Structure 1
Amino acid sequence: MSDHSGADGRASGRQRGPSEPPFLPTAWPRAVRPPGEEDWERSAVAFLLDCCPADFRGYALLRRHPVVLAQFAAQVVEAQVAASEEGLARARVSLRDEVEPPVVEEAVRIWREELVRLRAVRIGIGLVDDALRGTTFVPKM
Structure 2
Amino acid sequence: MSKFYLVLWLKWALRVTLCSIVLACGLSFLITTYIYVNQGMQELTSEVLQALWTVFKFWFPLAWSLTLLIALFRSLKYIFNSCCGGYELKLLACGSSDVIEEIGYGNLIKVWRKWFMLIIWLIGAQMILALVFTYTFTSYNGVFEWFDIYFLFFFV
TM-score by length of 2: 0.29
Structure having greater relative contact order (Cα 8 Å, sep ≥ 6): 1
TM-score by length of 1: 0.31
Larger radius of gyration: 2
